[in-house]
């Protein structure tokens, strides 16, 4: 029974993830006339803020391997990653027409400039560059970021969102906190009993929430969790790994599955930075202004990623902590081709792991990678070597 | 393209010092002196700051008696001296990806090879890394990497991006607050002295004077013929301003001198100097977007100068500050002006603003066309350039050229390919500019022939199809 | 007759086109490209001049009427083949001489001159004996270029000898490899009259027809063919051996040539061996914008070459096979480095060759569409040129993609002779020069040997930047 439930939820998740023409968004807009749908690029965006403005946040993960990029390629040289191409392709094909605007967080210069291209190509839509703070003093970076978030609120108001209401904002934050907590439960299940919830399955479930409000997503995740915990499941004799890539461009799900089938239990990863960047709830007691609470949460609880300045912290320490606390045996670095953030971080992270004697392997991908043979072999060899020699 | 009959000796690059303008000699001396100071830094008890060209706070550093080192400039110098290929290979051997910025790899490779600077003297390690996070994401990673190597303090100055072409109060305040509360205190600690605001203002005033003259020099290209090349020649003019001398008498004097030299050229109706000597007849006026290639800098320059193409304005020369749209360092508001300066650097400007700027240059400098040098390493410049190309053509009505190369990786400068593109572009411009002359006559002749029966009845092995 | 010359030095072939002073095409010639650009140009030009002679021949017969004249006209194709045969035989003689020079010069002690010399002579004699079959009416030759035909014949002959009496195969073929370079990089003037007359003697025909042809030959070879202007184009690793004012960018020549052949042309797509170009032209055939693929040659003709090699097929077989595909296979990477691996993996997974090929072709055409889009899109009329335009699958896909993205009323022009468009464009630019009063002329080339390899390390002679050993010329 619970297997059936599990399967049907996952099937729904898969459909939602494949919803490139944003049918769910159109449905929501039909039910909420006048409501704004605001897209955002992966890595962190303030979904709670957008919901708090009565708008629907829509995560845009690129076209993956399902979109033939023809027009999009005309805008990018060959040494630029793939996600902006497919995103522009979708936009030019009209698939993103349901969006009233797009938020471009400060992930890297490619996404930054993509925001500028968006402004020029789609003049009547909002293109908002969200300058994530690299100063983590609440009175400096925090203050600036709060003002930035308020500016976003004003942009949404100018396009028809209702005036900022602190209670509505706080309610949205609570919804987000609950969703985040549910994801944390999923994460725990993956760590404790990876056979009950595979990384590829959790991936679909988390990503599916990209086009719905937090409350609805929480319900879906809760149902999945219950079904996962009670369905029959066989244990695998796999190696426990963490997958790291500061993922903005997403690998095809088949790649995640390939890693799993090569003998790896992916017990933690940073694939869904956009949905999981805050490593704890947004603290509503931190300020009277709920918008400031969001800003402070980013400052204080934002996960380490390539786009986030390391400051005085030691590079790689966060990863090592993650590995130790989750009981992982190794790390798989997967960077998107041409991804400056991930590729520049890698040598530093690898050096840190090397010092601790934590084994790792490295591979590259693109969102439209169709070849998994090499990855299968590489991951298989890695998992074998970890099994045989452990932390050698 | 050369011919077998023109045996041009290709060794004109290393000219006699006597051929150089006084300003060039002066600059060379200034730079040499600076590197001497760097080499003696430890002995002299001077503290060294590594920082970046966009958002460089030279006046502040100078006021605190700190010596600046600019790794970007080291990298480009390595490129010009043919060492960057080796350095990049070192970095890639150490695990860095082929895909990432070659400035970073060159710098890391140089570090691993003994950190010998462009003048052959060893560069001192930094006492502090001033991470002026302006206009380029890669800077963040660069100094994270250098911190691993040097284990010295890093000071972050987050300069917000200008997506909408305006500096808001929030942006300015954020930068000013960081300067006041974090950057200046940290630098004071390294320098071992307190910042004298008057000294800072004094330097800012000198900067403003130099900027007046620099802008005059840029705008001299509005003359026909242009007395300067605003791109290849231009990188030499930005040297003192961008690197370690802004806010000093040396820099201000340099620009005054330079201005005088250019005034002389205008009076004599002369064009700019090129690697082959004084420029011949000005045939094409171009605006260029994008950094130059450094490994084949002179080859690249010659592809233009030998065809009579002069660059009348460029955007790369604005990476260390945009001064020709009205901004001057203001000594009366030292911290605010430093903030505005940083915020206004070219790579910190949104795409729409960049297009507006280029449009302005094409129109005001009466360019015949514009060219984009798309550089593999630099996403900050390159992403969106294809859109800029189309948009600018629409707005200005002049043709845009597009070539691809890299900053300092010699593997990415395909000389034949680039020469082909530049030549084709210039020939295209020429054909366009001389439309209505011979070309028109010839064409009408063809139109007549196509219908003629004679053209239809061709022999055994011929060309031509009935239309 | 006065003519204007255009020469296009491509990466695989060198083309020459002759037009008259009114801009009417006279003839064309083609040869395989080789390291000595001067010789390649001269060879292509000789081919074009020969073709022009034949058009004179035809004209010489044209005046007369009657059964005999008709028969004389009908005999011309056979005469042409016989001419080619005689030329081929002359080249084989030159090859034999070059082999002997190589043998005399050869310092390798291992080479047994007394064995290899006669062996080479035997192989050449054999090749000469077999040659008429190659040029017989209806014969299909694998190539029109001497190098290819001679190589095939030489290798076959060497194999035969090796089987027969153990003559060492490798050294013999090695001799060919060195001698053919010598033959290819030296200019040998072509005596057209002698070749024609010798060719005529091979053509079976009635005496009265032979007489007509003899007279016609006499007139055709004495008719002057004076070159009054020249322009050259091409894209080579070394500098083109032409005076600078005579050189025109290949992009401009291509655009002009395409426009001349199809005056409605506004967009040109050229997929060559190692680059792909999207070119926009105006109503006069002048280029207004262009884009090329960058350093990466993925999705060009060479890619198809790798695929053909992997599958053990001829290039010309790829298109027809791909057309038989029944389902679309999505190939994401057109990287030549991975072409082989990708192909092998898919075959091992049980995917059908034709389906994979269809996917690969699609990948190439998608890249081409990108470059077109970057150059300014596809405007009516659209002309597709370059070697790949002979690939039926590529054409089919392209038509579909253009209709999808730019509408179905875009006229698509494809011409198997499009390979000559660059040279035609160059000739047209030369005509411009002539009319403007400053024509250039093709220099007379000295017979020379190969160019020395580029220097490694130190000051490079070709570009004067100082560099280390990683210095490369592309």
User: DSSP letter string over B151-165?
Assistant: ---EEEEE---BTTS
CA distances from B26 to B12, B17, B298, C173, C363 (A): 21, 11, 21, 65, 56
CA atoms within 13 A on the CB side of A264: 34
| A78 and chain C in contact, CB less than 8 A | yes
Distance from the B161 Cα atom to the nearest Cα atom in chain A, whole angstroms: 7
Split at pLDDT 50, 70, 90, the class of A5 is very high
Domain membership of residue B286 as a residue range: 34-433
Residue C60: per-residue pLDDT:
85
CA separation for the pair C60, C124 (Å, rounded): 37
Say yes or no: B83 contacts chain C, CB-CB below 8 A.
yes
Residue C110: predicted pLDDT: 58
Number of domains chain C is built from? 1
The two beta strands, C2-9 and C13-19, are: antiparallel
pLDDT for A382:
95
pLDDT value for B449: 30
- CA B82 to chain C, closest CA, distance in angstroms equals 4
Secondary structure (3-state) at C291: strand
Any chain C CB within 8 A of the CB of A368? yes
Edge-to-edge strands, sheet with A56-59: A56-59, A37-40, A101-105, A126-130
Mean pLDDT, contiguous 10-residue spans, chain B (467 residues): 37 43 89 92 96 96 96 94 96 94 97 91 96 97 95 95 95 98 98 97 97 97 96 92 90 95 94 92 97 97 96 97 95 98 97 98 97 96 96 95 95 89 92 58 30 31 35
Contact between C44 and C15 (Cβ < 8 Å): yes
C365: left (phi over 0), alpha (psi -120 to 50) or beta: alpha
Q: Which of A70, A77, A373 sits opposite C369 (nearest CB)?
A: A70
**Contact (CB, 8 A) for C260 and C424:** yes
In three state form, how does the secondary structure of B189-216 look? HHHCCCCCHHHHHHHHHHHHHHHHHHHH
Rounded Cα distance between B371 and C468, Å, is: 30
The confidence score (pLDDT) of residue C312 equals 83
CB atoms within 10 A of CB A233: 16
Residue C394 and residue C318: Cα distance in Å, rounded?
10
- Nearest-by-Cβ selection for B442 from C432, C464, C474: C432
Domain that holds residue C382: 265-410
CB atoms within 10 A of CB C374: 23
B376–A131 CB contact, under 8 Å: no
pLDDT score at B433: 85
Whether residue C430 lies within 8 A of chain B, CB to CB, comes out as: no
What residue in C sits closest to A367 (Cα-Cα)? C332
Structure ipTM: 0.95
Q: What are phi and psi of B155, to 5 degrees?
A: -110, 125
Six token digits for residue A61? 């993960």
Is residue C269 reached through a cis peptide bond, with omega within 30 degrees of 0 on the bond before it? no
Report chain A's mean pLDDT, rounded to a whole number.
94
Chain B residue nearest residue C262, CA to CA? B467
Domain count within chain B: 1
Which residue out of A64, A373, A376 would a mutagenesis test of the C interface target, given it has the greatest number of C Cβ atoms within 10 Å?
Answer: A373
Select the residue from B91, B179, B185, B384 to test the A interface by mutation, using most A Cβ atoms within 10 A: B384
Q: Is residue C79 part of a domain?
A: no
B183: in domain: yes
User: Which residues lie closer than 8 Å to A366 by C-beta, 6 or more apart?
Assistant: A81, A82, A249, A336, A337, C332
Q: Which residue has the tokens 């708090």?
A: A52
Among A140, A311, A344, select the one facing B138 at the smallest CB separation: A344
Instruction: Give the three-state DSSP class for B343.
Output: helix
| Domain assignment of residue C341, yes or no | yes
The H-assigned helical ranges of B40-179 are: 41-44, 58-63, 71-80, 84-93, 102-112, 138-150, 169-178
Give mean pLDDT, residues A174-188. 97
What pLDDT does residue B467 have? 28
Dist CA C79 CA C153 (whole Å): 23
Q: Cβ separation of B390 and C376 shorter than 8 Å?
A: yes
> C371 lies in a domain?
yes
Distance from CA of C401 to the nearest CA of A (A): 9
Query: Nearest residue of C to residue B402 by CA position?
Result: C291
Give exposure, A18-55, as e/b (b: 16+ Cβ within 10 Å): ebbebebbeebbeeeeebbbbbbbbbbbbbbbbbbbbb
Q: Is A94 on the interface with C (CB under 8 A)?
A: no
Enumerate residues 376 to 415 of chain B having a beta carbon within 8 A of any beta carbon in chain C. 386, 390, 393, 399-400, 402, 404, 410-415
- Which ranges of chain C have pLDDT less than 70? 106-111, 236-238, 294-299, 332-339, 446-474
pLDDT digits (tens, 9 = 90+) for A319-365: 999 999 999 999 999 999 999 999 999 999 999 999 999 999 999 99
Does residue C335 lie in a domain region? yes
Contact flag C242-B464 (C-beta cutoff 8 Å): no
- Say what the pLDDT of residue C468 is: 35
Average pLDDT over residues A287-316: 94
Identify which of A65, A74, A368 has the shortest CB distance to residue C373.
Answer: A74
Chain B CB contacts of C436 under 8 Å are 437-438
- Asked, for residue C276, whether it belongs to a domain, the answer is yes
* Structure tokens that stand for B441 in this block: 């006559």
Yes or no, beta carbons of B387 and A117 under 8 Å apart: yes
Residue C260 lies in a domain: no
**Chain C residue closest to B466 (CA)?**
C261
For residue B392, give how far its alpha carbon lies from the nearest alpha carbon of chain A (Å).
12
- Say what the pLDDT of residue B45 is: 95
Q: Is C216 domain-assigned?
A: no
In a domain, B66, yes or no: yes
């Amino acid at each position: 029974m619970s297997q059936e439930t599990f399967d049907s939820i996952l099937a729904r998740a898969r459909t939602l993830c494949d919803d490139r023409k944003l049918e769910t968004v159109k449905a929501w807009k039909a039910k909420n006339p006048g409501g704004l749908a605001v897209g955002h690029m992966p890595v962190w965006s303030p979904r709670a803020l957008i919901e708090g403005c009565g708008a629907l946040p829509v995560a845009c993960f690129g076209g993956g391997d399902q979109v033939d990029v023809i027009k999009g390629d005309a805008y990018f040289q060959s040494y630029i990653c793939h996600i902006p191409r497919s995103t522009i392709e979708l936009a030019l094909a009209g698939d993103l027409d349901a969006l009233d605007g797009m938020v471009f967080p400060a992930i890297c210069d490619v996404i930054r400039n993509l925001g500028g291209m968006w402004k020029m190509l789609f003049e009547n839509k909002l293109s908002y560059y969200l300058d994530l703070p690299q100063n983590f003093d609440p009175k400096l970076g925090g203050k600036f970021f709060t003002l930035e978030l308020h500016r976003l609120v004003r942009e949404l108001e100018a396009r028809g969102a209702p005036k900022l209401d602190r209670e509505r904002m706080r309610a949205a934050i609570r919804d987000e906190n609950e969703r985040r907590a549910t994801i944390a439960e999923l994460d725990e299940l993956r760590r404790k009993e990876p056979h009950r919830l595979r990384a590829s399955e959790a991936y679909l479930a988390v990503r599916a929430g990209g086009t719905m409000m937090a409350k609805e997503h929480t319900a879906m995740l809760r149902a999945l969790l219950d079904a996962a915990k009670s369905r029959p499941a066989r244990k695998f004799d796999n190696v426990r790994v963490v997958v790291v890539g500061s993922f903005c461009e997403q690998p095809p799900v088949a790649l995640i599955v390939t890693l799993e089938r090569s003998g790896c239990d992916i017990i933690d990863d940073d694939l869904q930075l956009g949905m999981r960047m805050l490593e704890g709830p947004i603290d509503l007691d931190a300020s009277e202004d709920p918008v400031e609470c969001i800003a402070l949460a980013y400052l204080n609880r934002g996960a380490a990623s390539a786009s986030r300045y390391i400051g005085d912290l030691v590079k790689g320490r966060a990863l090592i902590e993650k590995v130790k606390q989750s009981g992982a045996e190794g790390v798989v670095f997967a960077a998107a081709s041409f991804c400056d953030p991930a590729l520049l971080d890698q040598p530093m992270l690898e050096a840190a792991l090397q010092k601790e004697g934590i084994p790792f392997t490295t591979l590259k991908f693109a969102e439209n990678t169709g070849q998994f043979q090499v990855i299968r072999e590489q991951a298989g060899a890695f998992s074998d070597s970890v099994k045989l020699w452990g932390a050698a | 393209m050369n011919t077998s009959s023109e045996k041009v000796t290709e060794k004109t690059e290393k000219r006699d010092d006597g051929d150089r303008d006084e300003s060039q000699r002066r600059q060379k001396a200034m730079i040499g002196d600076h590197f001497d100071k760097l080499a003696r830094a430890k002995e002299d008890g001077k503290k060294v700051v590594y920082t970046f060209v966009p958002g460089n706070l030279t006046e502040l550093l100078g006021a605190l008696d700190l010596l600046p080192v600019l790794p970007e400039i080291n990298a480009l110098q390595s490129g010009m001296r043919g060492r960057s290929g080796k350095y990049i290979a070192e970095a890639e051997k150490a695990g860095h990806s082929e895909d990432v910025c070659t400035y970073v790899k060159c710098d890391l490779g140089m570090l691993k090879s003994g950190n010998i600077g462009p003048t052959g003297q060893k560069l001192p390690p930094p006492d502090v890394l001033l991470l002026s996070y302006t206009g380029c994401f890669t800077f963040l990673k660069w100094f994270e990497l250098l911190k691993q190597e040097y284990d010295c303090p890093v000071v972050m100055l987050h300069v917000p991006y200008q997506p909408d072409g305006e500096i808001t109060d929030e942006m300015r305040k954020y930068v000013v607050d960081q300067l006041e509360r974090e950057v200046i205190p940290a630098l004071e600690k390294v320098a071992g002295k307190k910042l004298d605001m008057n000294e800072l203002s004094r330097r800012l005033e000198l900067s403003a004077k130099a900027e007046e003259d620099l802008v005059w020099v840029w705008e001299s290209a509005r003359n026909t013929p242009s007395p300067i090349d605003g791109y290849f020649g231009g990188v030499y003019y930005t040297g003192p301003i961008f690197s370690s001398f802004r806010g000093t008498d040396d820099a201000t004097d340099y620009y005054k001198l330079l201005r005088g030299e250019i005034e002389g050229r205008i009076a004599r109706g002369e064009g700019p100097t090129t690697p082959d000597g004084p420029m011949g007849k000005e045939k094409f006026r171009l605006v260029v977007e994008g950094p130059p290639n450094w490994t084949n800098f002179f080859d690249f320059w010659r592809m233009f100068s030998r065809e009579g193409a002069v660059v009348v304005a460029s955007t790369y020369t604005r990476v260390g500050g945009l001064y020709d749209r009205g901004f001057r360092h203001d000594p009366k508001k030292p911290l605010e002006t430093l903030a505005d300066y940083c915020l206004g650097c070219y790579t910190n400007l949104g795409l729409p603003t960049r297009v507006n700027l280029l449009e302005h240059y094409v129109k005001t400098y009466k360019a015949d066309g514009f060219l984009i040098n798309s550089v593999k390493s630099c996403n900050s410049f390159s992403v969106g350039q294809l859109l800029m190309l189309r948009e600018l053509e629409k707005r200005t009505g002049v043709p845009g050229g597009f070539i691809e190369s890299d900053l300092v990786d010699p593997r990415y400068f395909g000389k034949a390919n680039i020469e082909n593109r530049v030549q084709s572009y210039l020939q295209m411009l020429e054909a366009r500019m001389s439309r209505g002359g011979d070309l028109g006559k010839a064409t009408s002749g063809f139109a007549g022939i196509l219908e003629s029966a004679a053209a239809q009845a061709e022999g055994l092995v011929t060309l031509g199809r009935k239309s | 007759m006065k003519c204007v010359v255009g020469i296009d030095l491509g990466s695989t072939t060198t083309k020459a086109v002759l037009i008259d002073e009114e801009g009417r095409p006279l003839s064309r010639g083609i040869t395989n490209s080789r390291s000595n650009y001067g010789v390649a140009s001269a060879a292509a030009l000789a081919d074009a001049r020969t073709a022009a002679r034949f058009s004179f021949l035809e004209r010489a017969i044209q005046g007369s009427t009657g059964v005999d004249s008709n028969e004389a006209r009908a005999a011309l194709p056979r005469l042409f083949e016989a001419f080619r045969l005689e030329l081929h035989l002359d080249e084989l003689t030159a090859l034999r001489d070059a082999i002997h020079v190589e043998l005399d010069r050869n310092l390798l002690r291992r080479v047994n001159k007394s064995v290899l010399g006669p062996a080479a002579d035997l192989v050449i004699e054999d090749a000469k004996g077999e040659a008429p079959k190659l040029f017989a009416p209806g014969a299909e030759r694998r190539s029109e270029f001497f190098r290819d035909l001679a190589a095939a014949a030489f290798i076959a002959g060497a194999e035969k000898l090796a089987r027969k009496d153990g003559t060492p195969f490798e050294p013999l073929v090695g001799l060919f490899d060195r001698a053919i370079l010598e033959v290819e990089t030296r200019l040998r003037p072509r005596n057209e009259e002698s070749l024609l007359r010798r060719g005529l003697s091979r053509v079976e025909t009635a005496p009265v027809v032979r007489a007509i042809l003899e007279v016609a030959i006499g007139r055709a070879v004495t008719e002057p063919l004076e070159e009054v202007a020249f322009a050259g184009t091409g894209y080579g690793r070394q500098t083109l051996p032409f005076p600078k004012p005579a050189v025109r960018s290949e992009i401009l020549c291509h655009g002009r040539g395409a426009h001349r052949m199809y005056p409605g042309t506004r967009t040109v797509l050229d997929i060559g061996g190692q680059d792909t170009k999207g070119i926009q032209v105006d109503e006069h055939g002048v280029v207004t914008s262009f884009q090329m693929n960058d350093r990466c040659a993925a999705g060009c003709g060479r890619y198809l070459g790798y695929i053909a090699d992997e599958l053990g097929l001829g290039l010309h077989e790829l298109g027809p096979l791909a057309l038989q595909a029944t389902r679309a296979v999505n190939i994401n990477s057109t990287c030549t480095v991975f072409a082989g691996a990708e192909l092998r993996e898919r075959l091992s997974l049980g995917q059908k060759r034709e389906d994979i090929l269809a996917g690969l072709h699609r990948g190439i055409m998608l890249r081409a569409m990108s470059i077109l889009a970057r150059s300014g899109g596809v405007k009516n009329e659209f002309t597709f040129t370059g070697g790949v335009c002979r690939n039926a699958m590529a054409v089919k896909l392209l038509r579909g993609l253009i209709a999808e993205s730019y509408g179905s009323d875009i006229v698509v022009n494809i011409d198997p002779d499009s390979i000559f468009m660059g040279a035609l464009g160059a000739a047209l630019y030369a005509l411009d020069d002539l009319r403007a009063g400053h024509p250039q002329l093709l220099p007379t080339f000295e017979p020379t040997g190969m160019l020395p390899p580029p220097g490694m390390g130190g000051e490079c002679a070709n570009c004067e930047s100082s560099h280390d050993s990683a210095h490369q010329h592309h």
